[in-house]
Amino acid sequence: MKSPMPLGPLMIDIDSVELSAVDREVLKHPLVGGVILFSRNYDSIEQVSVLCDEIHRLRAEPLLLAVDHEGGRVQRFKEGFTPIPCMQMLGECYQEDKENALNYARQVAWLMAMELRQVGVDFSFAPVLDIDYACSDVIGDRAFSSDKKIVVELAEAFQQGLAEAGMASIGKHFPGHGAVAPDSHVAIPIDERSLEEILQDDVYPFRQLIQAGMKGIMPAHVIYQQVDEMPAGFSEFWLQTILRQQLGFQGAIFSDDLTMQGASVVGDIGQRAQQALKAGGDMALICNDRTAAEQVIDHLNGVEINTNSIERLKKMRPTTRLPEGSLQDSLKWQQCRKIIDGFN
């Protein structure tokens, strides 16, 4: 009996609320290991549950299913889902009542994770560990705080809530996107600070969360000019020397979307994927461009899949079984919902 096809190093997306014949064919390719969902893939809880189940059933080793569902302005599924507050609101609450804020962070994360797991999503790309330097609109209220120690306390509580729901946490955007104004979706941000300053400030939350058991990390498409000419997600220095060796991170590294402008300095889409994996990434994301995804598959065809990456990616799956019955009927969901309603 053949063993299941292992998870490949690419995460791609689909166009609609259901799988097309072409989607099924592409998702069965051995280089594909995951699917990221967007708002266009969501119509209702019932629909997305069927979609997630169908994606998971495509292969004997189910593909990983992810979504950007941080809260605030970054929440892909809305109708039928609890509106999650932006993380800045938790930071503001911390200033008034630290213990309540930490409890809220844990409860918000638990509810977010359980609602996603209920429909079949394996993990969300959260929490944001960037520091809010009040200069980056793309980060802004997605960050917990301008104080690195508050970021750590709230993010640790958030991570605990995810873990209680059986969901892995993924910190972003390593080593920190908050100190540059340009948006890496449409520009090539350059951070001129020294390595020492970045390690002391922006890397601090990542270091603490890694020690607390963080399972995944997403690097920034930012060039830290005094450190390396490559954006962090393509830099062996950042991913190997700093993240793996100095910080001792043993979890999975996910690239940010390779179609973003911040990745363009590396070359064409195939070169970007190749360099992201060569630098030490475990999974490369290609979003909102099926042609680009197919070009990457062609570019990497025949490349041997890293067995260490396969094992790290397997650990991103939920660690607990979902309870029987409706989540919304549970006392804990109702208590968490009351907390969140207080923010909205």
177 among known catalytic residues = no
256 among known catalytic residues = yes
State how far the Cα of 254 lies from the Cα of 10, in Å rounded to an integer.
Answer: 9
DSSP label of 272: H
Could you identify the residue written with the tokens 């299941």? Answer: 4
Phi and psi dihedrals of 107, rounded to 5? -70, -40
**Distance, C-alpha 49 to centroid of its chain:** 20
Helix spans in the chain (H): 21-27, 45-57, 87-96, 98-119, 148-164, 195-200, 203-211, 236, 269-278, 290-300, 307-314, 331-341
Looking at residue 110, its amino acid is W
User: Is residue 126 within 8 Å of residue 117, measured between CB atoms?
Assistant: no
State how far the Cα of 42 lies from the Cα of 124, in Å rounded to an integer.
Answer: 15
Q: Sign of the CA dihedral 305, 9, 278, 267?
A: positive
User: Is residue 10 within 8 Å of residue 286, measured between CB atoms?
Assistant: yes
User: Is residue 125 within 8 Å of residue 131, measured between CB atoms?
Assistant: no
State how far the Cα of 80 lies from the Cα of 90, in Å rounded to an integer.
Answer: 23
**Residue 89's CB: how many other CB atoms inside 10 A?**
19
Phi and psi dihedrals of 172, rounded to 5? -150, 155
Take residue 24 and report the two structure tokens written for it: 């099924």
User: Is residue 221 within 8 Å of residue 184, measured between CB atoms?
Assistant: yes
Catalytic residue among 130, 228, 256, 282: 256
Catalytic residue among 53, 185, 268, 341: 185
Q: What is the CA angle 43-77-282, rounded to 5?
A: 115
Enzyme catalytic residues? 185, 256
